[in-house]
Structure 1
Amino acid sequence: MKKVPFLVLIIMLFLAGCAPKFDKQQEVVKDSSKSKEKAIIPKYKISDEYYRTILPFEPAKARGLVVSNLNTRYDIKEFETGLMRIAQNNFDPNKYLFQEGQSLDSHTVSLWLNRKFTKAQAKENGIKAGDNIGLNPLDPGKGNIDTRNKKYPIYLAHILEQDYLLKDSKNKVSLGGVVIGLALNSVHYYQKEEYGATYNTKVPQAEVVSHGKQIAQQVLQRLRKMDKLKNIPITIALFEQKQKSSVIPGNFIYYTNVDAGSGQVDKWEKVNEKYYLLPSDTANTDHRDDNVAFLNFKQDVEKYFPNFNGVMGRALYEEDQMKSLNIDIPIQFYGSSEAVGFTQYVTGLVMERFPAYVSVQVSITSVNGPEALIVRKANQDQPTVHIYD
């Protein structure tokens, strides 16, 4: 049996473990400002937690920017998937369809991510007056560079748009809501000279939140000036990304739902989510029982291979309770039977060591690539296990 690509495997696991709904595939009419086109709603729905997408697939107008604007691959994944979780607070996955953002293109997003410039700075950098619309603070360009970067950091790192569509009784699909994610920096990186060393300054969370909310209000007002978004419900969420060296992702900290037609943010909802590295001093302080459980799991793994010491976990907490746990075990095997035996052993540990309400995924890898994947969904009696041949 040939090795299955990792992404394909994940899709297979979701299909196997989430009891998909097999409704009939539907052909609908997609209504846009320019034209009416035929589109397809896929018949498969993985679970109630996921949105159906509409076909043919239309990539985001700002596709690709997230990779260059966020600090780590962990932040990239969490920013996108976490924004979908935020969307579910206002847009029911059983009613709405998902589509990548079609209103904000790469050029617009790039301009919004700039700093504001003085007229002299704009002229020096060849920036037209109409393009001087950056949402990050003006750097006056005078005085000590370290002081300036601490006082005027780059707050806004990226903007992500997700569109949510509604189907009416006449099988017509149209835009029903928009969700905007604002990725904010907890650490600001800067250079004193081109191609020189990179320096950084930490941005206090209170400052991140304050400026993030101000930026959100400006973004809302700009969106309302777009014809297709004048009378659409809009959700805006603030995401605080981690520093470049982090091995866990950042998290969403606040979101707001704005009614159709409104141009004012009235109320913010706090998001009680946070990632922890296991084991760690921080996790031991905040969630000692979970940290101890993971240490016991780690010790059991090391009993199997006494010279091994590389088990690491990333735990997502919601409302101060662990919701999911991703575990990485990089190890070297010297035969297929060794890999099979170890995977069976770890599967047993997963079922014994972690509460049933926690979703657990264990990736076992070696220098040759993926070796095994263990997935135990919340309250699942039997885990899904795949060993790569």
Structure 2
Amino acid sequence: MHTYHVSVPAQTKHRYPVIVGSSSDVAWDTEISALQDADRIAVLYDSGIRSIADSIAARWSNTTLFAIPSGESSKSMQRAEQLVQDMLVAGMTRRSAIINVGGGMVTDLGGFVASIFMRGICFVNVPTTLLAMVDAAIGGKVYVNAGPVKNMIGHVWHPQAVLVDTDTLRHLPDALLADGLVEVVKMASVGDAEFFGWLEEHMADILARGDSLITAIEQAARLKAEAVSSAEDDSQRLLLNFGHTIGHALESLSGFRLSHGQAVSIGMSCELALHPCPDGARIRCLLETLGMPIDFPAETNSHAVWDLMRHDKKAEGGAVHIAVPLCVGSGSVVPLDRGVFLQAFS
């Protein structure tokens, strides 16, 4: 018997820009170089924002548009496979690229498709919801849902660029604005005490879509980029899961009737109740200012929530872990006991 060893090449690392500003000011061909050499470009877009996708696709002569029905149910293996088939019919190759235009559903699904199409092609994210601008579109986590279980199939495949087009904020419904601001509050809670204090002072102007909104986006995008860039041991990035262990389970059990922001807001409040910190009241107050729910839903079965939490990516050996702030601006990942959870929320 002979044994041979294969030396696996290190994964290629690259830096990519997160550009915050008006799309009309961006020199696409020079600032987003991945699109220069693409033989074809697929523009994947949420079906509710066709006009934005059209304006982007019009910049090139070699684009094909693919509409994705709105809603979390589109983030599935079935949809991913259909997109791969449609891209093959459209003549896309390993030299092609994808531009994802939409919210987190589109950037997650489109990034996942880019990662598996012909062993991986380049993609660019153009997030059009605040939640995607500050979180989902940045960081390279690309995945689809496994039935009712959120974000179970996927891996890490980074975009070549992220263009946060602030022009799209004019058309963003108030509910989606608040959804995204939950993620902004989350990042400040575990990563930047000074930014959290600034949010408390400026939230009224942010909700009114004043100049403070752009500053909030820039600071949240900075925090996400720093967490991704420094996460050699993944510890800093894991803190960004604050509110998501309970939140993802609640979102799934609701049949996605709870929005992501609503579910994470409840998750943050519940995780603070399980692991109190001296600034917990400030965090909850800011969430309530957004009009977000913070109480565990009375009609929800806590045993079912726990069962879903056991499948969370931070779970180890069946043990559930949650990311929580120790005080505003810093946090830790701590284990969660089943009995404590069920006693708190039964």
TM-score normalized by the length of structure 2: 0.28
Larger Rg: 1
From the two aligned structures, give the one with the greater strand fraction. 1
Of structures 1 and 2, the one with the larger relative CO (CA 8 A, separation 6+) is 2
TM-score normalized by the length of structure 1: 0.26
